[in-house]
Amino acid sequence: MDVIHTHVCGLDVHKKNVVACMITPDHQEIRTFSTMTEDLLMLVDWIKAHGVTHVAMESTGSYWKPIYNLLEMEDIKILVVNAKHIKNVPGRKTDVKDAEWIAGLLHHGLLQGSYIPDRQQRELRELIRYRRSLIEERAREINRIQKVLEGANIKLSSVATNVLGKSGRAMIEALINGETDPDVLSELAQRRLKRKKEELKKALKGLIGPHQRLMLKTQLEHIDHLDALIEELDAEIKERMRPFEDDLERLDTIPGVGRRTAEHILAEIGPDMTQFPSAAHLCSWAGVAPGNNESTGKRKSGKTRKGNQKLRSTLVEAARAAARSKHTCLSSQYHRIAVRRGANRAAVAVAHSILTIVYHLLKKKQTYIELGPHYYEERKRHQVARQAIRKLETLGFKVMVEPSNQTA
């Protein structure tokens, strides 16, 4: 087998140690290093001293990050490889043999690295992912408040759409301060909720105890703290996103994609689409492309791969938002597929379409053009007509089709 890279090093990375196998034309050497920064610096010096030009490591958990941070500052090509792509032959497995296997594959050019963005984008990605975690925690805390209110026979959510809106918040704070009179509590309603005072009086009549007041007080304080953290992260992310304002505005034109969703998508995939050969590659990497499993002429499970789960969940949320939009191509696609395949499959299909649109908008530097709710029918006019005729014929009808003057 031909040698592609002459000076290589394979790393088998663990939490506490790294097994390194270095291969050069002169010799092969294997050493083990600790994952403390001082020892990792010794690893980098050892790699540089032997003139290594390519390093490959398994992308196991997050243990590869400290090594990558040090190696990316050197003039060395680094490949972080998916573990299942370099799976060794079962049996006789040791850390040393894993390192030798990785180095051997790299030596002959048989490894392909995963997409690892630059340091600036990695930092932005961490900030946005953490903000998303805080937003999800805030939603969970609101659900806990709802659970406490239900336990106290307070049916506020049955009347108010938003339990923590201005009216709901004022009522909960009054409950915490010891007010239990439904007439007094209902007077705290504002705006449209004022029309439901009679319903509020019934909903706010409950049996709230001291421990429930304590829980509600603690939960509101937690939500306020989370709000402050989210605002702080919003300010930092906005500052880091300034160079990408044009790209954010392009993505914001897609139905279902708001500002925060656009920021999350851009942080995950970056603004440069040359990293991905095509939109299909990007969708496969994100885990929103259908699986390809066919044997003996039979199509088997089309389950999607895991991919980038953070990006995937964001795209599915955007797809469900797009499904609620009016008179759009994406909404029409969602409802057309949901009837046949179910809501979850429809959401993934629309997520695939959104990411495909994102790819072309970022690559061509264009804005989204709405195609309309009937785009699919117009595009596949004859196929739709044949399907309709076939359905009528199975019901016992004889169908004769003549084009109208408008479609002739």
User: 192 and 82: one domain?
Assistant: no
Residues 199 and 226 occupy one common structural domain = yes
- Residue 293's pLDDT is what? 66
Same domain, 355 and 391: no
- Residues 226, 283 share a domain: no
- Looking at the fold, whether 261 and 359 belong to one and the same domain comes out as yes
Residue 115 lies inside a defined structural domain of this protein: no
Contact 307, 286 (CB under 8 A): yes
- Read off the pLDDT of residues 114-153 as tens digits, 9 standing for 90 and up: 888 889 999 999 999 999 999 999 999 999 999 999 999 9
| Domain membership flag for residue 371 | no
What is the structure's pLDDT at 90? 57
- DSSP-derived letter for residue 198 is H
Taking Cα atoms as reference points, which of 50, 15, 57 lies closest to residue 36?
A: 15
The pLDDT tens digits for 213-258 are 999 999 999 999 999 999 999 999 999 999 999 999 999 999 999 9
In tens, the pLDDT along 166-211 reads 988 999 999 999 988 888 888 888 888 888 888 988 888 888 889 9
DSSP 181: -
Q: Are both 17 and 33 inside the same structural domain?
A: yes
**Same domain, yes or no, for 174 and 229?**
yes
Q: Are both 311 and 356 inside the same structural domain?
A: yes
- Last residue in a domain, options 107, 131, 160: 107
| Number of domains, the chain | 4
CATH of the domain at 49: 3.30.420.40
Domain assignment of residue 326, given as a range = 245-293+302-364
Q: Are 145 and 220 in contact (CB under 8 A)?
A: yes
Tokens representing 254 are: 């897609």
Torsional class of 191: left (φ above 0), alpha (ψ -120 to 50), beta (otherwise): left
- Tell me: do 166 and 224 sit in the same domain: yes
Inside any domain, residue 374:
no
* Same-domain check for residues 137 and 166: yes
User: Would 114 be classed as within a structural domain?
Assistant: no
For residues 56 and 163, state if they share a domain: no
Considering the domain architecture, whether residues 195 and 260 belong to the same structural domain is answered as no
- Residue 370 placed within a domain: no
Query: Does residue 113 form part of some domain?
Result: no
Separation CA 27–CA 152 (nearest Å): 74
Give domain status of residue 62, yes or no. Answer: yes
The answer to whether residue 228 sits within a structural domain is: yes
